[in-house]
Amino acid sequence: MGTDVIDRYVTDLGARLQGSKKQVRDLLTETRDSLEDATEAHLHRGLSEDEARRRAVEEFGPVREIANEYQAELAVAYGTRTLIWLAIVLPLMHMAWEYGRMLLIGPWQDFGAMPPSWYLFIAKANDLASGVASGIALVALVLGRILARKYDTKLLAKLAASVAILAVGVVLLGNVAIIAATAHVDVSRLMQSLPMTIASLITWTVIIRLGLLARRCLSCATIVA
């Protein structure tokens, strides 16, 4: 039946797309509108209802090719959204953790002996990690806007996903390194305060959540042929 041609096309297109639900819904709504508009135009030119719908779908393009182009845009949009989250959440998370620590346990108590220089280096690097990762995300966002028309969308999507993974990786590495280093120097510090242990768990939950977002970015970017 004629009606089914458009329904089938939109359903088939939707099944091939991955990204933010709202973005996918918007694209599919726009697709359906376009197909309905084209059908009306063909009806005015004297085609039958079935023929008009079939022609509208044909003119829209092969579903695989169109899905590929749509997916590249969805992947870039998802990457952009993730980079915005990273740019905002990472420094906020670090600041919240530091303020929480000052409120709950005050300044760090000195170690019994001066910690080794490598420990101080790791501590400093971890303090800087979220700022650096946030900066990387911000630079990627600005470059993404400038290069939007100059580079292939599929390439930009993959780059955005890679930058997101790199940014989360930097923070993850910083956190793992400081925990491992502290455990090595004085393991009792890791269990110094229950509220801080809870704050650390929240931090880890946020990092893991951001990591999953970054991984989904990559998944959205790599299903593009």
Partner 1 sequence: MKPDALRGHLDALLLATLDGRQLHGYAIIEALQQVSGGALDLPTGTVYPALRRLERAGHVISDWSTVGGRKRRTYRLTQAGQKALHAERSAWREFTTVIDGVLGGGGKWAQT
Name which of 8 and 184 has its Cβ closer to partner 1: 8
Residue 41 sits in the site that holds partner 1 (CB under 8 A): yes
* Cα separation, 140 vs 146, whole angstroms: 10
Which residue in the set 19, 73, 90, 221 belongs to the binding site for partner 1 (CB under 8 A)? 73
Cβ–Cβ under 8 Å, residues 167 and 134: yes
Instruction: Tell how far CA 43 is from the center of its chain.
Output: 43
Residue 27 sits in the site that holds partner 1 (CB under 8 A): yes
Residue 140 sits in the site that holds partner 1 (CB under 8 A): no
Cβ–Cβ under 8 Å, residues 132 and 47: no
Give the count of residues interacting with partner 1 (CB under 8 A). Answer: 29
Among 62-70, 124-132, 166-174, 214-222, which window interacts with partner 1 (CB under 8 A)?
62-70
Residue 148 sits in the site that holds partner 1 (CB under 8 A): yes
Residue 15 token pair: 């099944």
How many residues appear in the chain?
Answer: 225
Cβ–Cβ under 8 Å, residues 169 and 86: no
Residue 8 sits in the site that holds partner 1 (CB under 8 A): no
Give the residue from 6, 9, 31, 28 showing the smallest Cα distance to 19: 28
CB of 38 to partner 1, least distance (A): 6
Residues that bind partner 1 (CB under 8 A): 26-27, 29-31, 33-34, 36-38, 41, 59-62, 65-66, 69-70, 72-73, 76-77, 80, 144-145, 148-149, 153
